[in-house]
A and B are shown apart, each in its own frame.
Chain A
Amino acid sequence: MNRLSDRKIVGKTLWLLAAWLLAALVSLNIGSVSISASEMLRIFENHGETQLAAILFSVRLPRVLMGSLVGAALASAGAAFQSLLRNPLADPYVLGVSTGASLGTILYSIFVTTSRAPDSGGSFLYGRPLAAFLGAACTIAAVYVIGGNPRAGETSQRLLLAGIVFASFLSSINVFLLTSTNQADLRGIFYWLIGDLSRPVDASIYVVAVAVFAGFALLYACSHGLNLIATGEEDALILGVSVPRVKAGVYAVASLVTGAVVSVSGPVAYIGLICPHIARMMFGSDNRILFPTVFVFGAIFTLLADTLARTVLSPVELPVGVITALCGAPLFIYLLHRRRSGA
């Protein structure tokens, strides 16, 4: 019998990590200036202050790491929402969580610019991801209130519809706020609203990294409970899962990791939808293997999408959200169709 073991999980995850490393090297290599592997090795050895080293260490490497974090976080959040709602179409973008996080980020930025807080540099690192998390958490709560039916319990279809409606509502508020406050860098901001990794990475990457890894650990701790909840909530209770606590925890943690990365990258669409599906096809739907594999797979996918985004029209860069939506929207339609035909 093909049973899931910890060895199998570690094995598959290590394979994916190797693939991620390869993707990262490719991404470091490609760009307006190509840096070959031998040059990279030389730079790593000498820590030289050359122009190539500057490109590698202060531009490409941070972007590779940030892209990986964004993908890992959104893919994990997507897997968690799909499992919790027992619906393959759920993901942080569709549920409006990503857009809520961007509203939080925008409100925080407006607050910082108008109040001209003297220490905005330091508080910005924590404040922006925190504001995004609050935006995400408020959104999921609102979607739950709008879409949940207290008599019949929440149905995932209603929640998704509420999420889609709420997301379009919030995104018009976002555009309204940005336009009315006379932001200087409109082009950059609209790129960010589509999901963009081209902005210089600042020290907030550390805050984001801690949030993403801690969130992943918490989600992983819930993976067996989520497996049982997929059987039915009453069954899960009978089998010893504290269902209300697991549900609340997973909603909160998935919002946290989404908020943390959206504060930097903007609401990149469909990563949370595509990656869990592909990972499920490859490794099965048991959350104990799905969560670690989708974490790494999301990193690989986003890294490759971002590499495409900055090279395909070089020297002009596309926002990464354009590439993920180009892949994701057709897949969404395919899944919707397959679901309707009862497969």
Chain B
Amino acid sequence: MRQLHPEPAGDTLLEARNLSFSYSRPVVQEFSLGLPPGKVTGLIGPNGSGKTTVLRLLDGILRPTGGDVLLHGSVPLARLSRKEIARRIAMVPQNGGSYYYQSVFEFTMQGRSPHLSLLGFESERDIDIVRDTLEMTCLSALSHARVSEISGGERQRLLLARALAQQAEILLLDELTANLDINYQVELMRLVRRITRERKLASLVVSHEINLLASFCDWIVLMAEGKIFRQGPVAEAVTEESLRGIFGLDFFVRRSATGPLEILPVLEP
């Protein structure tokens, strides 16, 4: 199995080194990945390939049974408290946030939690940060709306807003664009890429949308059965052969006139 190696470790904000995790059977094996600043990395693979487990390992919610997660190439994540981790890593979980009574503003303010004092009273600065974040995610007009009243697309933007309010340098997004219409998917990914570039974040995006990831990511990781099948720049990693390798289906992959890849599964009934 050919494997392209990520950029040198010194450059990465978050790094997985030979991560393994198992319940009764191995879920993730020998997973190594570096997330450099200013770049969007995409993680793709069939259901049950261990993508969500990788994200939870990278955020320290799960403890790896082998290997390490390192911040800035040297600080082991396991040595930090939850609060210290939350100041550095923001994550949007797959089914996150169900506190319907809160307003959009209050929900976003939760993202400031790791920066607040013990009792959690917010300062003017926290309020400003939340306002800016709502502005950036186009939610300012809904600031007073209840979380239960907003649409699915707005809800996903809200989850992103809460993660951005954490002002962490690392952003982990699990199926942020799931269940959204294509226009909302594109809008969200544009936003993620813009913020990643502007703030020099290291972003990792898990999604089922191959075309979306191929268009917006700088680096792609293909995963199957808990292992990295291939990783590299989009054009090198996403090939007919590698997609067949992880999904067991034939694909057409061609470069469009404007640049991005066009990927089509061959659907023979």
Among B6-14, B96-104, B212-220, B240-248, the stretch in contact with A: B96-104
Q: A235-B97, A238-B93, A240-B87 are in contact. Are A228 and B119 (CB under 8 A)?
A: no
Is the beta-carbon distance between A238 and B59 smaller than 8 angstroms?
A: yes
- B144 CB to nearest A CB, Å: 7
CB neighbours of A243 from chain B (8 A): 82
Contact flag A240-B93 (CB < 8 Å), given A6-B121, A221-B119, A223-B120: no
A221 touches which of B90, B96, B118 (Cβ 8 Å): B118
Task: Judge whether A285 and B101 touch: CB under 8 Å.
Answer: yes
A240 touches B97 (CB 8 A): no
Interface membership of chain B positions 63-101, coded 1 if the CB is closer than 8 angstroms to chain A and 0 otherwise: 000000000000000000111111100110100111101
With an 8 A cutoff between CB atoms, is B111 at the interface? yes
CB of A224 within 8 A of CB of B119, answer yes
* Main secondary structure on A side of the interface with B: helix
Query: Please, how many residues of chain A have a CB less than 8 angstroms from a CB on the other chain?
Result: 25
Please report which residues of chain A, range 185-226, place their CB below 8 angstroms from some CB of chain B when the two chains form the complex.
220-221, 223-224
A42 to nearest B CB, angstroms? Answer: 43
Select one of A1, A224, A227, A235 contacting B105, CB under 8 A: A1
A183 to B143 Cα, complex, angstroms:
64
A-B contact pairs, 27 of them (CB 8 A): A1-B103, A1-B144, A4-B121, A5-B121, A6-B119, A220-B119, A224-B120, A231-B110, A232-B98, A234-B61, A234-B96, A237-B82, A238-B61, A238-B86, A238-B96, A239-B110, A239-B111, A239-B113, A239-B166, A240-B82, A240-B83, A240-B84, A240-B86, A241-B82, A242-B83, A285-B101, A288-B120
**The 7 residue pairs across chains A and B that have the minimum distance between CB atoms:** A224-B120, A240-B86, A240-B114, A240-B83, A231-B99, A239-B113, A242-B82
Which A residues are within 8 Å of any B CB, using their own CB?
A: 1, 3-6, 220-221, 223-224, 227-228, 230-232, 234-235, 237-243, 285, 288
